[in-house]
Structure 1
Amino acid sequence: MRQELINEVEATGNELLETVSSFSEAQINVSPFEGSWTPGQVAEHVYKAADCGIVYGNTAPSDRQPDEQLQAIRDLFLNFNAKYPSPEMILPTQESHEKAALLQDLRERWDNLINAAQTVQLEDTCLDFVVYGFGPFTRYEWIQFINTHTQRHIHQLKNIKAKL
């Protein structure tokens, strides 16, 4: 389970960095259409959402399979026809973004996520935050939540790229 998780997180991180890298410096702050985030804003949102600090917080032993909610997480985020409002705490700013700084921040954030996937007790349940509609996640599910959420936004970035 652990090695498969590490492989998935590494693959998503590589795809994220490649996708953000594909934008020119000029494109990073361009909205493809009215009401859309810029590529820089999407990258900032992913950066904020990929903070894996929750997996290092308070935990308890779990009484269920550590991946029990994985399919529900994937069903939520990989349904590209559905639109969801972002929680305020991870909304991007209106500030201009620099591509190199975004890539460095994302690379560091992703290194932290890979480290978590490599080292934490994946079966433990995280107690400090609950995603509405799900109940408490295991550490494995939190890492997959971050990973799958990022896959959703990689898809969004590719759509933006096609419009620019």
Structure 2
Amino acid sequence: MEKIIREADETLSALEYEFSRFDSPQINEVPFEGSWTAGQLAEHLVLSNSGFLEVINGPVTETDKPADLMVKEIRKDFLNFNVKYNSPKEIYPEDRTYNQPELLKSLKQIREGISDAITGLDLTKTCTAYELPGYGFLTRLEAIYFVIYHTQRHVHQLKNIYNELDSN
């Protein structure tokens, strides 16, 4: 339990830190062709992670598999930076001007919500509100690790965006 609390807090705090490093106007600059802006990346994570928080806090059933069965596969998929994924349209960020303080506030609320879920819920239960393509219905534990590894992937991208904009 301590491990997942630490991993979630470190990962989601790193996201907030990396995003806060940008000057406000920079979050809406395209760093290189084909890339999202830092604002779009943060919005994508707000949409994705808040959605997962709803699923984690939503309806559940008893689990008939190891609660961490998909964790290794999720980690392998999302921490392979050589593979590019397309975002589902539901969590695809709009092409608009983003407000850094608003996004940071949302990211902090999500971090706190994930922490509350880890400490207050039975993580072995299976979430039934959403079936994740390729993975099926996740346990709360797997869903939290999805948030962790998906966020780590995007923190890596955020650092690349920052370095690109900072060098120009």
TM-score normalized by the length of structure 2? 0.94
Aligned residue pairs, count: 163
Aligned to 2:138: 137
Q: In the TM superposition, what are the counterparts of 1:113-128 in structure 2 within 5 Å?
A: 113-128=114-129
Q: In the TM superposition, what are the counterparts of 1:4-153 in structure 2 within 5 Å?
A: 4-51=3-50, 52-153=53-154
Matching residue's letter, 2:11 = T
CA RMSD of aligned residues (A): 0.9
More strand by share: 2
Q: Distance in 2 between matches of 1:45 and 1:135?
A: 21
SS for the counterpart of 1:144 is helix
Q: Distance in 1 between matches of 2:91 and 2:113?
A: 18
Moved >6 Å (runs of 4+): none
SS for the counterpart of 2:7 is helix
SS for the counterpart of 2:108 is helix
Matching residue's letter, 2:96 = E
Matching residue's letter, 1:116 = A
Q: Is the 8 A contact 2:11 2:151 kept in 1?
A: yes
* C-alpha deviation, 1:106, in angstroms: 0.7
Q: Is the 8 A contact 2:8 2:148 kept in 1?
A: yes
* C-alpha deviation, 1:143, in angstroms: 0.8
Residue by residue, what CA displacement relative to the aligned partner does 1:32-60 show, whole Å, maximum 9, x if unpaired?
11221000000000111001010122211
Matching residue's letter, 1:34 = E
SS for the counterpart of 1:72 is helix
* Unpaired stretches in structure 2, ≥5 consecutive residues: none
Q: Is the 8 A contact 2:60 2:126 kept in 1?
A: yes
Matching residue's letter, 2:62 = P
* C-alpha deviation, 1:153, in angstroms: 0.3
Q: Report percent identity of matched pairs.
A: 39
Q: Distance in 2 between matches of 1:131 and 1:3?
A: 26
SS for the counterpart of 2:144 is helix
Matching residue's letter, 2:48 = A
Q: Is the 8 A contact 2:13 2:111 kept in 1?
A: no
* C-alpha deviation, 1:139, in angstroms: 0.5
Aligned to 2:2: 3
* C-alpha deviation, 1:102, in angstroms: 1.2
* Unpaired stretches in structure 1, ≥5 consecutive residues: none
SS for the counterpart of 2:157 is helix
